[in-house]
Amino acid sequence: MLDYLIIGYGIAGALLAAELRRRGAAYAVVDRAPFESSSRVAAGIWAPLTGLHVARAPWAQQMLETAAEVYPSLERTTELTWYFPQRVFRVFKSPLQQERWLQHRGLPRGPEFLSAWLPPESFPACINAPRGGVEIFGGGRVDTQLMVDGLRRIEQRAGRLYEAEFLPEALHVTDEHIAWGGLTARHLVFCMGSSSLAGTPFDWVPFKSTRGDVLTVEADCNLREIYHGARFLAPAGGGRYRVGASYVHGETTARPGAPEREAIETDLKHMLRVPFRTIDHRAGLRPNTLDNVAVLGSLPCDRRLLIFNGLGSKGVLQAPLLARLLLNYSMYGDALPPEFDVARFMKRWIKSWRLHG
């Protein structure tokens, strides 16, 4: 019997599987054939501070440290190159933004992640930065498609990955074990990203879908750093850059949108002082909970059924630490940080339990 059966092999499932491997647990993964999942579309940027409101990821320091430990060692196992610690710069696009970011430096832990103001002339000539900007320390980029596909091949070679559609009606939970499609396990973890959880034991967890569009462009500049102005611009090798992303709320299909492409290109024209050419346009659905915080933990009535989801737009930064926290909870009974614990949605569970028993 397996210790863990994982449903879904995006960033969440892949990092959880890697952590199980490190701990010597017996596990298997069920995942559909590769498609445009969020993890295969993502730009893969991580940074401890983001957004107009200078949001600091909760647990930012621990997340950075765990990511810096986990990704390089996983990268070596794939014999590919997909982990790129890179300098990240915020280019101020408005006086309000400038004020907010510089205020953050005044906070007790502000300077830890943020440089002093950088004047316009400290930016490369091809970047339009009339208000200057700041450097955000500790960021970089993971080529998430290469990572997930590389790790997937390892699991396939080891016979641990079953390419199949998980159908909740085929799940059998008894006192002795959890069985699905001929596999039996002591625990089952749902890592299904933005896919519907209808029919699963976690269908009461509130999600909202946000489509993201990302472009790949060729531009005549030689940047090695990530620049974040109205959009991010991240070097992807060979004179190519990933640019984006859009936030289209309430979308349930991951079809790339023409208006989003136009909006990204318009912003990029303001950001770049050199011409560019779009060579690719992709889109995916971010897995977002209603409160925009990742969700971990078990079913209130059965600690063997677990969830690891809601990574939103920060999958790369969050997944390595959260995979460890979830397994510490499941294997050793450690408490989960309440902000991530699925128990924060307990009222919804009680309501659904009353309705369906």
Ligand X SMILES: Cc1cc2nc3c(=O)[nH]c(=O)nc-3n(C[C@H](O)[C@H](O)[C@H](O)COP(=O)(O)OP(=O)(O)OC[C@H]3O[C@@H](n4cnc5c(N)ncnc54)[C@H](O)[C@@H]3O)c2cc1C
The residue ranges that bind ligand X (CB under 6 A) are 8-13, 30-32, 37-39, 41-46, 165-166, 191-195, 212-214, 244-245, 284, 286-287, 309, 311-317
Which residues is 337 bridged to in the sheet? none
**3-state SS, residue 11:** helix
Residue 270 · residue 128 · CB < 8 Å: yes
Q: Which is nearer to ligand X, 32 or 160 (CB)?
A: 32
> How far is the first Cα of the chain from the last one, in angstroms, to the nearest whole number?
29
Residue 283 · residue 257 · CB < 8 Å: yes
Q: How far is the CB of 245 from ligand X (least distance, A)?
A: 4
Q: What are phi and psi of 67, to 5 degrees?
A: -60, -40
Q: Which is nearer to ligand X, 169 or 176 (CB)?
A: 169
Q: How far is the CB of 63 from ligand X (least distance, A)?
A: 11
Q: Which is nearer to ligand X, 9 or 276 (CB)?
A: 9
Q: How far is the CB of 112 from ligand X (least distance, A)?
A: 20
Q: How far is the CB of 142 from ligand X (least distance, A)?
A: 8
Q: Which is nearer to ligand X, 16 or 336 (CB)?
A: 16
Q: How far is the CB of 104 from ligand X (least distance, A)?
A: 20
Q: How far is the CB of 78 from ligand X (least distance, A)?
A: 17
Residue 285 · residue 324 · CB < 8 Å: no
**3-state SS, residue 213:** strand
Q: Which is nearer to ligand X, 193 or 320 (CB)?
A: 193
Residue 217 · residue 357 · CB < 8 Å: no
Q: Which is nearer to ligand X, 58 or 119 (CB)?
A: 58
